[in-house]
């Protein structure tokens, strides 16, 4: 079997193909949306390499990475020309699973009375970088949804994922006995 080429040169003029064959510019909002999902997935890949990440969080994040591939494939499909309305492999129970993970982590954390700044441990910083990419991903998906139908389950999942990454960052600091950094609005 002949190995396929990694490069095709079909995108050299700034266009790419969606699932289904439609060609769009590489700065199209659909490309921004699924490209940012890919960027989020890469940041999560970095996060799972952290030695101090607990096994439960590692398993959850690796599960999330598969869900993000499903989301990326859905977003890469030109929906107006497709009968695909639901993101394959993403259900309300997936969002509920993330919510259960948030609740389990948050139950171990002190209550918040101030805004927390990103930082503390390296693991917390990695969580917060992934969280901010997740929020950007969410913004691009919302913008895409302004022009075409997007399965609402995707936004629910992405929104909860950013919340999960926030509490995971807090947990990283608490577990390492590193004080959280609170916003000093009068600095």
**Domain assignments of the chain as residue spans, ordered by start:** 15-79+88-181
Burial class of residue 9 in the structure, from the number of CB atoms within 10 Å of its CB (0-12 exposed, 13-18 middle, 19+ buried): exposed
DSSP states of 58-84: HHHHHHHHHHHHHHHHHHTB-GGG---
Which residue, 168, 179, 162, is CA-closest to 56?
168
Q: Is the pLDDT of residue 40 over 70?
A: yes
Confidence of residue 70 (pLDDT cuts 50, 70, 90): very high
CATH fold of 15-79+88-181, please? Hypothetical Protein Ta1238; Chain: A; (1.20.1200)
Instruction: Provide the whole-model pTM.
Output: 0.89
pLDDT recorded at residue 4? 76
The tens digit of pLDDT for each residue in 23-34 reads 665 667 788 899
pLDDT recorded at residue 35? 92
The tens digit of pLDDT for each residue in 141-158 reads 999 999 989 999 999 999
Confidence of residue 138 (pLDDT cuts 50, 70, 90): very high
Contact 110, 167 (CB under 8 A): no
Contact 40, 26 (CB under 8 A): no
Query: What is the distance between the alpha carbons of residues 152 and 47, in angstroms, rounded to a whole number?
Result: 27
pLDDT recorded at residue 68? 98
């Amino acid at each position: 079997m002949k190995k396929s080429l990694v490069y095709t040169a079909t995108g050299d003029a700034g266009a790419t193909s969606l699932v289904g064959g439609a060609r769009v510019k590489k700065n199209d909002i659909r490309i921004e949306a699924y490209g940012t999902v890919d960027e989020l997935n890469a940041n999560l890949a970095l996060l799972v390499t952290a030695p101090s990440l607990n096994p439960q969080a590692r398993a959850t994040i690796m599960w999330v990475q598969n869900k993000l591939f499903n989301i990326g494939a859905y977003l890469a499909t030109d929906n107006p020309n497709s009968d695909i309305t639901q993101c394959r492999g993403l259900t309300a129970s997936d969002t509920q699973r993330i919510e259960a993970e948030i609740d389990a982590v948050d139950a171990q954390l002190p209550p918040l009375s101030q805004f927390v700044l990103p930082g503390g441990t390296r693991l917390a910083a990695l969580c917060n970088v992934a969280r901010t990419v997740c929020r950007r991903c969410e913004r691009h998906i919302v913008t895409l949804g302004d022009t075409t139908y997007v399965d609402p389950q995707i936004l629910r999942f992405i929104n909860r994922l950013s919340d999960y990454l926030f509490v995971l960052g807090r947990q990283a600091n608490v577990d390492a006995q590193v004080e959280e950094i609170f916003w000093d609005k009068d600095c």
